[in-house]
Amino acid sequence: MNYPIAILLAAPLALAYPAPITAAAAKPNFVIIFCDDMGYGDLACYGHDKTKTPNLDAMAAEGQRWTDFYAAAPVCTPSRAAILTGRLPVRSGMCSTKNRVLFPDSFGGLPASEITLAAVLKGLGYDTMAVGKWHLGHLPQFLPTARGFDHYFGIPYSNDMDKVGKGDNIALAEKGEFQAYNVPLMRDTEIVERPANQHTITRRYAEEAVRFLRSREASKPFFLYLAHNMPHVPLFRSDPFKGKSAAGFYGDVIEEIDWSVGQVVAALKEKALERNTLVFFSSDNGPWLIFKHHGGSAGPLRDGKGCTYDGGMRVPGIFRWPGTIAPAIVRDIGSTLDVFPTFLALAGGKLPGDRTYDGFDLGPVLLKSKPSPRQDMPFYRDETLYAWRHGDFKAHFTTQGAYGEDAKRREQHDPPILYDLRNDVGEQTDIASNHPDILAQIRSLADAHRATVQPVENQLDKRTKPRK
């Protein structure tokens, strides 16, 4: 009897929220801003009390700021493989205990059989550009221009590689000796500068991104992947940011990245593109804590880069799309693994049906404020599943310190350690003995997941000068 009233009420509500219709009418543009080793606690909008990040704070206030957002791996190469393929790196061979990332003497890379986000978007008519750190293979067949990007400008691996200088990374950075790292700066497939002058690298990446945005035509959708080399050690920043931050050298670096985010948003506004552009900001893994004041902050989380405690993988996650994403703080689980299926769905594409994907379409959360479809998060260290989160609970089957002496302490746990992340974000109090039911559920979820993983050729162990 009440049905007609309900229908009458529903109609004006639908008219008041036209966002999904707008999204379907024209293909949205996508910008990913991906930092290297930025910690969960490094931004003011994630609780840092000294570093000033007004542009990222504004982006968070205007969009969705996720509190429980995870990179797919605790180190660079596997994490980058995951965001660009929507698949766990264990499926592509882009992770290894022996060689945790790619090196300048590596001859592997993201296999040609993997489908990148850039490639699928290109197939849907997008212009594509990669600026910054790549780290999915620096040989010609692996470079961005061979993997779906029209153009590339950046350093193809980590900024601490090709080291020719003597001394530790902190001392060299404090002396400003960028020449100590003979890293190449490339345009498309050519080296245009070596060593790359890292003092100006964040600024030049921002300028390149702005140039790309200013050259856009409204009729052609685009995908810009802006992957900063900073704040990965060794730290560098340009002159206007030297000594600027109350949080020291590291704060200077973060504040320059924040400035660069402001430049990107300003360029979108200037071109009247912001209402049709989804900007996503995140980091590839947690802070590199062994570098102390040159490493970032995981905030309240345990440990940092390299390990499977939350400090290694929980990262900032901010989505901005004015007029389409309603401002909110999202406390559900999300992951960089979800970027591929989410963007592809928003662009009107379909997930390839010939392989296993590990991501979820977050569109309903972004556009309609629905709960996240992601209830689980696997935590891999290299090829091994160390931990699993289901809802608020996280079970550790294996724990191991991030780097140095700590990394030698590898412990198996049976029963697994269990933490309630909602009430114990720092992973301190093992509650396994109180919750055998939850442990059993997590074990069966992890077993079912393991059964989907097939052995593949390892890409990171291919080196001309293998590690002993």
Binding site for Mg ion (CB under 5 A): 36-37, 76, 284-285
**Measured from the CB atom, is 274 or 284 closer to Mg ion?**
284
**Measured from the CB atom, is 79 or 277 closer to Mg ion?**
79
Q: How does DSSP assign 207-234, residue by residue?
A: HHHHHHHHT--TTS-EEEEEE--TTSSS
**Measured from the CB atom, is 284 or 358 closer to Mg ion?**
284
**Measured from the CB atom, is 84 or 446 closer to Mg ion?**
84
Partners of 187 in the β-ladder = 153, 190
Name the token pair of 100. 């945790």
Reference 316, options 33, 18, 14, 27; nearest CA is 33
Instruction: Give the count of alpha carbons within 13 A of 441, CB side only.
Output: 14
Alpha carbon distance 265, 286 (integer Å): 25
Alpha carbon distance 399, 403 (integer Å): 13
Name the token pair of 288. 């590199």
CB of 395 to Mg ion, least distance (A): 25
- What are the catalytic residues? 76, 135
CB of 32 to Mg ion, least distance (A): 15
CB of 156 to Mg ion, least distance (A): 14
At residue 392, the 3 state secondary structure works out as: coil
**Measured from the CB atom, is 76 or 257 closer to Mg ion?**
76
Amino acid at 22: T
Strands (E) in 25-175, as ranges, are 29-35, 64-70, 127-132, 151-154
Partners of 191 in the β-ladder = 186
Name the token pair of 295. 């490493």
Q: How far apart are the first and last CA of the chain?
A: 77
CB of 232 to Mg ion, least distance (A): 6
Maximum CA pair distance of the chain?
82
Partners of 222 in the β-ladder = 127
CB of 72 to Mg ion, least distance (A): 12
Q: Are 80 and 330 in contact (CB under 8 A)?
A: no
Alpha carbon distance 33, 264 (integer Å): 9
Residue of this chain nearest to Mg ion (CB atom): 76
CB of 76 to Mg ion, least distance (A): 4
**Measured from the CB atom, is 73 or 186 closer to Mg ion?**
73
CB of 36 to Mg ion, least distance (A): 4
At residue 152, the 3 state secondary structure works out as: strand
* Sign of the torsion angle spanned by Cα atoms 101, 309, 338, 438: positive
**Measured from the CB atom, is 71 or 362 closer to Mg ion?**
71
